[in-house]
Structure 1
Amino acid sequence: MISSQVKPPQTKAALFGVRLRTLRKQRGWSQKELAERVYVTQSRIAQLERGYGARPSAELTHALETVLEADGQLAELWPYVYDGSPRWSRRFFDLAAKAVAIREYVSHTVPGLLQTEAYARAVLGVGLEHPDLLHERVSLRLARQARLEKPDAPKLCLILDQAVLLHTVGGEDAMREQLLALRAACDRHSLRVLPFGSREHAMLGGSVVILTMSDGTEVVYSEGADHGRLLEDPALVAAYTGAFEQLHARSYGEARSARLITEAAARFTRTRSRRRAVTRTQSRQRAGRHVRRRPGA
């Protein structure tokens, strides 16, 4: 005998589709009628209701919410349906959440686990058109940092190329805030700076993360600007681990690295002070010219 009980949706996309279909039927509209109201094709609505195909954009979700008077039923699911993480990084994030030790080399930006909100927003916002998606990606990144405050926090060992300290990401104020946060992290984690003048090395031009799991196994995640790959082959993992250890030995010690970060933050502080002084001087000069040009003066 076949059970008449309806199975619950298995994914967030399927649940989104069920809610969309229910709301549409409550209004007495066909898929075509709903599609016309939000300026998409009928097949697009059909895809969404079935939970497959391209995920709904923030704009489309907002339009559906408005015309269906959904009261947030669709909007609350959207961040989970429209995954803010690239597909090739999802398995890495799952493993990183369970790792007992994380070793990472970065060549261009502060590691995500130590980014401030303003810095993360600047990094993740490059080339991104949808504000809602940016907010989601930033929220996910900050949420992952929470594990560093828990009793089972992984052991963190980081190597930063010295150029990371000089790139102005998000503006001078955001960069100063980030560097101060990075300096504070030096007191809790192992952090070293790879100096300018270091010769070519195996990790040049990218970033590499080595994850150690509770059973002792290790995996490597190698990332570029628009790609990433997870390596689990023991030979490849061993090669990257050896390269990381070489960079660790060539980097400044932890105490000197902390001083370099402090000095970098101070440079951004002085730059901000000079900029404000120039602004004040220009304001006074404009005010003086205005007074001299008053009629009858």
Structure 2
Amino acid sequence: MPPRRAITGRSQEPRQRFAEELRLLRSQRRESLRQLGAALGWDWSLFGKMESGQTIGSPEVAEALDQHYGTPGLLLTLWELAAGDPTQFRERYRRYMALEAEALSLWHYAVSVLPGLLQTEGYAHALLSAGGIMGEELTRQVEARIGRRELLDGDDAPRFRAILSEAALRTPLEDTNEWRKQLEHLLDMGERRNVMIQVVRQEVGLHALTNTHTMFLRLPDGRTVAWVETGYSGELVQETAATERLQLSYDLVRDLALSPVESRKFVKQMLEEVPCDPPI
């Protein structure tokens, strides 16, 4: 492993530091972007964008670069810091929201919570408050989330496919009335001509998106971009090769999912299992 370098004079902003380290390591190897792309199997333009700070790529790319440069763990750690920087998260999310408003179609996979476009006010309130948001900020974020549902309204609304992990439906709200409203809302939304809801049963086991919330946006110019999110950070993926790999994973998960008809029956079964309030 190369000797540890002093950080004096280096950027302390996580995203910039990550890009600086990538440029320095490639310079020390005297390697071109095209040579790097050929060696690792990714499009060389991805590495150019990472070195310029336009994107941080994925953790898989960071791990591959660590192996290539002989810096085990260094680049992955810097990637995690860059991905977790709240300022960069807000900037990326604003860009995602702008693209979402333009999208002709959207495809989503939900790991453990229902997608925002399908949430009721009660569900959004419970989810956001569980994350520590309170007071006026909680009210503002709930209103903003519910307002986003207008995206699916109207004759020219985009097509929306939501694939839900069974885990998202096995995690109810504490308030059974609100949970019942949420399940009824899913059934109502599934009747719309532009909305398709499918469920992936737990019995299918591990799959390509087991721990990855993902939204794909098909844009008017023909491009497809993806928003990949964990509970603490999100990444806007715009590189063609990376997006295509994610789409392949999504297609594999869709093949494992129940059909829309069977999924509707499953949600109805979940609704029937919600305890009824005792008579007053």
- Name the residue aligned to 1:262: 268
Task: Please tell me the residue identity of whatever aligns with 1:210.
Answer: F
1:184 to 180, 183, 188: 188
Cα contact 2:208–2:253 (8 A) shared by 1: no
1:86 is displaced (CA, Å) by 3.9
Task: Please tell me the residue identity of whatever aligns with 1:106.
Answer: A
Q: Does 1:163 align with 2:141?
A: no
**Cα 1:170–1:117, aligned 2, differ >3 Å: closer, same or farther?**
farther
Q: Does 1:251 align with 2:279?
A: no
Matches of 2:131 and 2:220 in 1, distance apart?
37
Matches of 2:177 and 2:272 in 1, distance apart?
11
1:130 is displaced (CA, Å) by 3.2
Does the residue aligned with 1:214 lie in a helix, a strand or coil? coil
Does the residue aligned with 2:197 lie in a helix, a strand or coil? strand
Matches of 2:244 and 2:133 in 1, distance apart?
39
Provide runs of 4+ in structure 1 moved above 3 Å.
85-88
- Name the residue aligned to 1:215: 221
Report which of the two structures shows the higher radius of gyration computed on alpha carbons.
1
Task: Please tell me the residue identity of whatever aligns with 1:168.
Answer: P
Identity %, equivalent residues = 25
- Encode CA deviations 1:40-69: one digit per residue, 9 max, x unaligned: xxxxxxxxxxxxxxxxxxxxxxxxxxxxxx
Task: Please tell me the residue identity of whatever aligns with 1:259.
Answer: K
1:88 is displaced (CA, Å) by 3.7
Matches within 5 A, 1:80-99: 86-99=90-103
Does the residue aligned with 1:151 lie in a helix, a strand or coil? coil
1:119 to 93, 107, 123: 123
Matches of 2:103 and 2:140 in 1, distance apart?
24
- Encode CA deviations 1:266-292: one digit per residue, 9 max, x unaligned: 111xx124xx15xx6xxxxxxxxxxxx
Could you say what the CA RMSD is over the residues aligned between the two structures, in angstroms? 1.7
- Name the residue aligned to 1:193: 199
1:129 is displaced (CA, Å) by 4.5
Q: Does 1:107 align with 2:116?
A: no
Cα contact 2:213–2:228 (8 A) shared by 1: yes
1:250 is displaced (CA, Å) by 0.8
Cα contact 2:110–2:213 (8 A) shared by 1: yes
- Name the residue aligned to 1:153: 157
TM-score, structure 2 normalization: 0.65
The answer for unaligned runs of 5 or more in structure 1 is 1-82, 281-297
Matches of 1:225 and 1:182 in 2, distance apart?
22
How many residues are aligned here? 191
Matches of 1:112 and 1:131 in 2, distance apart?
20
Larger RCO (alpha carbons 8 Å, 6+ apart): 2
Matches of 2:229 and 2:144 in 1, distance apart?
18
1:154 is displaced (CA, Å) by 0.8
